[in-house]
Amino acid sequence: MAIPPLVVQTARCGWHWQWQQLMGGLGPADAEGNYQRPVSDHLNGEIPEQSDLQARKAKDLPLLIVGRSCPWAHRTWLVHRLRQLASQLTLLMASPDHQGGRWVLAPAWEQCNSLLDVYRHCGAPPSHRATVPVLVDPTRPAILCNDSAPLVELLNQWPSTETELDLDPPALHGQIETWQTLLQPAVNDGVYRCGFARTQTAFHRAETALFDALKNVEINLQESGPWLCGDQLTLADVRLFPTLIRWETVYAPLFGCNKQPLWQFPELWNWRRRFFQIPGVQETCDATVWRQDYFGALFPLNPGGIVPTAPELSRLVMSEIPR
């Protein structure tokens, strides 16, 4: 028996109202439906002197806490790997608790079972949200930094006994900042502006800015590659990679970022493959975890909770561009 049109219309109106309420909790928007990322509660403490760090025992080394599914934390994890900081910084992994809406630690650290416990243990104000990434000094204890943009710069300057790699050389600092100004709103945050848009107009605006930025990167790589700033890998590349490596597995299917498949940007496709092949990078990429967390946690975007399958990540990234 067919469902009466009035029942269908009523159900659609009711669901749309509920969806708007749920989206309001997921991510705020302005009056035109454009997603507005909440302002982060940034905490910055005094960085220990290098002599102090060198004298510390392993248990007293600063902690870098990241989450596998968070692209902002992924940036810092990449710098940790690229600059081989394992002996200077302890890496701690937080996992999302979808039901509780928090990051949990297993095993616990200093009797802290969640990231919120860590923030409170370090004296963060009660009003501050507990987010990853976060760099913690366990000896005070104190939060040294919890904003990914300056944190990758800080980790780039962190003393390393294994490599002299500099991802932010003075001669390229201006170019790196120019890329940050373009890519942060249009691409890194742009995929979220697409996924969390409340109206068709808002989505179109975000989608246009996103793909215009990708075209800009494509042209630059064609003219001045192999990296965003030329011959040298920099923080500009590090900041872009976590977004593009999640493209086919998360942002295209869930956030609607599928106006063009990434393989239609051949220079970007090869840039991503080149980055993925850098020693240590592949171990930071777990598409199964990403999909479980995104599809499982973002209920307003995926109310059925179904997590679709996807191509194996390394096979996808390393494949040739379709002809």
- The two tokens of residue 94 are 């937080």
How many domains does the structure of the chain reveal? 2
Range of the domain at 72: 50-157
Q: Are residues 261 and 182 in the same domain?
A: yes
d(CA 224, CA 228): 7
pTM: 0.94
Kindly report the backbone phi and psi dihedral angles of residue 7, in degrees, each rounded to the nearest multiple of 5, phi listed first: -65, -45
Q: Are residues 123 and 236 in the same domain?
A: no
Contact 317, 248 (CB under 8 A): no
Locus of tokens 């290098």: 50
Kindly report the backbone phi and psi dihedral angles of residue 135, in degrees, each rounded to the nearest multiple of 5, phi listed first: -110, 125
Q: Are residues 187 and 297 in the same domain?
A: yes
What one-character DSSP code corresponds to residue 158?
S
| Helical (H) or strand (E) element with 103 | strand 102-109
Locus of tokens 């507990």: 130
d(CA 294, CA 292): 6
Q: What is the pLDDT along the chain (323 residues), one digit of tens a residue?
A: 677 777 677 767 776 666 577 677 677 889 899 988 877 777 788 888 888 888 889 889 999 999 999 999 999 999 999 999 999 999 999 999 988 889 999 899 999 999 999 999 999 988 888 999 999 999 999 999 999 999 999 999 999 889 999 999 999 999 999 999 999 999 999 999 999 999 999 999 999 999 999 999 999 999 999 999 999 999 999 999 999 999 999 999 999 999 999 999 999 999 999 999 999 999 999 999 999 999 988 988 999 999 999 889 999 999 998 77
Q: Are residues 114 and 207 in the same domain?
A: no
Contact 63, 135 (CB under 8 A): yes
- Does the residue 31 lie in any domain? no
